[in-house]
Structure 1
Amino acid sequence: MNLGYKSHIGKVRTVNQDAYFVLDNPNSNIKVFAVADGLGGHNAGEVASNMLIEKISDTFNQSILINGVVNQDIVIEKIKSVNREIFEKGIQNEHLNKMGTTLSLTVIVNEIIYIFHVGDSRTYIVNQKEILQLTKDHSLVEQLVMQGEISRQEAENHPNKNVLTRAIGTDQEIEIDFYKYAVKKSDKILLCTDGLTNLLNTEEIKEIINNNNCKDAVEELIDKANEYGGFDNITAIVYEPEVSL
């Protein structure tokens, strides 16, 4: 199995505010994967993450390609449009006020990964040699690390670890990070929410992914996060692209 995906409520939460999207049509050269982690009370996070995933999922067809390359502007404009819709819905309904969601969206075309990212969900490349985080968290602790005020190790247990500096739907306008990466043979791609990365360290994640096929790796990652407490919703997608070289 070169693809596995699953979302689990965890052991503490009563609602799963994570959402995900998988487009793996064997007849298409476009593969698309996304995870979103909602935030907000009164189930508002669930509304935000599902609204985002539903509305961006219809974007991905051949029209986003120009000469075989992803037109990033089309994707970014779609995300910005949905951001405004979520923001406006939050204003109109007091129970949804301040709702928002993270997004880590990966589009794969011709062995190139295009990543569109907001928040602290993550996209990684995993192989036998390394686990490489391709995205940067939009969080207070990441900001403090970048400013040299705390160490990476201190960030792991910081009391404000879950405070985001950027999320979709919390403001009328949003800046979206964009990354490109060329996949190599034996690379696997992991997208996940922080319900996984807050409980498993990168070496554990790397070992599980390298020792299993994609479907079994996802099952083991989620089982391990629940074994460690399952304090949050947990979502993971693992995919091994077919690479010629």
Structure 2
Amino acid sequence: MNSVFRTDKGRIRTHNEDNGGIFFNSSSDCLAIVADGMGGHNAGDVASQITIESMRVQWQQASPIEDASHAEEWLKSTINLINERILMHSRDNQECNGMGTTLVTALCTNRFCTIANIGDSRCYLFNENGFAQVTEDHSLVNELVKSGEITKEEAEHHPRKNVLTRALGTDVHVTADYYTITFEQGNYLLLCSDGLSNKLARQDMQDILQTDLSIEEKADLFVQQANENGGEDNITLVILEHSAGLESG
């Protein structure tokens, strides 16, 4: 599996509250993560850092993933643990009160990927059927789209586009959505924060993945185009490419 992680503070923000990473365990299975932190006084980067570091440590200690149900169970227990840690840190550190983070994560073996998401960071799959969004945003505008109050086109420029209906670390009870997909030779997964998905049209994303560039050059091009299109937000992404080998790029 070829993989690459990139994060960039963008052209406007002075601080990067996004975080992420790609981690391989002893079974050569992969855990990819993108977290977009939020909260005053730069507390968002604390929430996203707690998320990434906790998942990394838990992943290193995890037993081999047997099947998709095992993957989902592991993700659920780990997400609940992280939620408790963020809430505890918020209680113990007044300057972090109210912080939280989005989360999109993909647990990938050479047979399947189980994806979990909370908030509006996304996962896309590119395979022989085309380029499609796997996850669903937990946001106010997405609820308005689903209820028919606004169109998808209106949602793109809605003034409350950044209002989330779910986040990690903001409530005692946290609910993620889970998806298991087949991941085969030549397929790509793209995980990203809204600093990328808000700046590039879906066709532009597909066009980049279809180029003959290396996976690292594709990642750099994503960041470059998001910045060229305004770069108002932090930009974070992971690309996973299913290949014959299982090694990090």
Q: So what's the TM-score if we normalise by structure 1?
A: 0.93
Could you report, residue by residue, the CA deviation over 1:42-92 in whole angstroms, capped at 9, with x for unpaired residues? Answer: 010000000111011112258444545534223211211110121122123
Q: Which residue pairs with 1:160 in the alignment?
A: 160
Q: Give the counterpart letter for 1:36 in structure 2.
A: A
Match of 1:21 in 2: 21
Deviations 1:81-125 (A, max 9, x none): 110121122123221111000000101113201011111001111
In 2, distance between residues paired with 1:64 and 1:117? 22
Q: 1:67 to 1:187 in 2, by over 3 A?
A: closer
Structure 1 counterpart of 2:141, which letter?
V
CA separation in 2, counterparts of 1:115 and 1:132? Answer: 14
Distance 1:28 1:67 in 2: 11
Q: Is the 8 A contact 1:111 1:243 kept in 2?
A: no
CA RMSD of aligned residues (A): 1.9
Q: What code does the residue aligned with 1:55 have?
A: S
Instruction: Report the alpha carbon displacement of residue 173 of structure 1 after superposing the two structures with TM.
Output: 1.3
Tell me which residue corresponds to 1:38.
37
Helix, strand or coil: the match of 1:237? strand
Asked if structure 2 preserves the Cα contact closer than 8 Å seen for 1:4 and 1:237, the reply is yes
Higher mean displacement: 113-122 or 182-191? 182-191
TM-score, normalised with respect to structure 2? 0.91
Work out the CA distance in 2 between the residues paired with 1:34 and 1:198: 19
Matches within 5 A, 1:186-225: 186-211=186-211, 212-225=213-226
Q: Percent identity?
A: 38
Q: Given the alignment of the two structures, is residue 232 of structure 1 paired with residue 229 of structure 2, yes or no?
A: no
Q: Distance in 2 between matches of 1:183 and 1:66?
A: 15
Q: CA deviation at 1:213?
A: 2.5
What corresponds to 2:176 in structure 1? 176
The SS at the match of 1:143 is helix
The alignment covers a number of residue pairs equal to 243
1:84 aligns with 2:98: no
Using the alignment, how far apart are the partners of 1:15 and 1:216 within structure 2?
24
CA contact (8 A) 1:84 1:173 kept: no
Q: Which whole-Å deviations, capped at 9, do the CAs of 1:4-47 have from their partners, x for residues lacking one?
A: 2210010111110000021146x633111000000011010000
Q: Any conservation in 2 of the 1:30–1:107 contact (CA below 8 Å)? A: yes
Q: 1:144/1:60 Cα in 2 relative to 1: closer, same or farther (>3 Å)?
A: same
Unaligned runs of 5+ residues in structure 1 are none
Say if 1:8 and 1:67 are closer, same or farther in 2 by CA, change over 3 A.
Answer: closer
* DSSP-derived class of the 1:60 partner: helix
Letter in 2 for 1:237: V
Question: SS where residue 11 of structure 2 aligns?
Answer: coil
Q: Secondary structure at the match of 1:190?
A: strand
Tell me the secondary structure at the aligned position of residue 124 of structure 1. Answer: strand
SS of residue in 2 equivalent to 1:50:
helix
Task: Report SS of the residue matched to 1:163.
Answer: coil
Letter of the 1:40 counterpart: G
Alignment partner, residue 51 of structure 2? 52
Quick one: which amino acid aligns to residue 39 of structure 2? G
Aligned residues of 2:27 and 2:64 also touching (Cα < 8 A): no
Counterpart residue type for residue 239 of structure 1: L
Q: Report runs of 4+ in structure 1 exceeding 3 Å deviation.
A: 61-71
